[in-house]
Amino acid sequence: MNVSVKELPEYEVAYVRHVGSYMDTHQAWAKLEIWAKENGLSPANAYFIGISLDDPNTVEECACRYDACVTIPEGFPRENHGEIRFRKLPGGWFALYRFYDTVDKLAIAYQSLFGQWLPNSGYDADDRPCLEFCMNDPANDAEGKCKVDLYIPIKRRA
């Protein structure tokens, strides 16, 4: 696996939460994309970040939580945005894996990172969430693939 280590800053984000199968997150993304466009946020001036909050191996599929996020500029007004929520994503050190394949294979990438790369890396995962920086829209990709910069939060092994 081609994995690099990178430090990320803290990000302020707006998000829509989805509860259920990770294969159905398109509903949250659709709501967030409409809101982002109405508020002048696009891939040209913001990052679109997915956060899978639960391990589907330990949490029932119907209870898995996922946040579809978009970064917002400093001072962005947070009032009167309906179901849109706001939060800070903590910065720090992350293992970066650049994924380009069909969305159903993202789980395999996670399994490889946590099961193979991490144990041999000199790092341990910490309690910050994994971040999926969405670099394209699979619906507009010639091969129907998603391009994701997958960030796994890490700390030096003691």
Reported as a single tens digit per residue, the pLDDT across 90-129 is: 999 999 999 999 988 998 999 999 999 999 999 999 999 9
Please state whether 60 falls in left (phi above 0), alpha (psi between -120 and 50) or beta.
beta
pLDDT band at residue 137 under the 50/70/90 scheme = confident
Q: At a CB cut-off of 8 Å and minimum separation 6, what does 151 contact?
A: 6, 8, 94, 95, 96, 130, 131, 132, 133
User: Residue 103: what pLDDT?
Assistant: 87
Is 1 a residue whose pLDDT tops 90? no
Please tell me the pTM assigned to this model.
0.92
Considering the domain 3-156 in this protein, what is its CATH number? 3.20.80.10
Is 139 a residue whose pLDDT tops 90? no
Is 40 a residue whose pLDDT tops 90? yes
Q: At a CB cut-off of 8 Å and minimum separation 6, what does 144 contact?
A: 102, 138
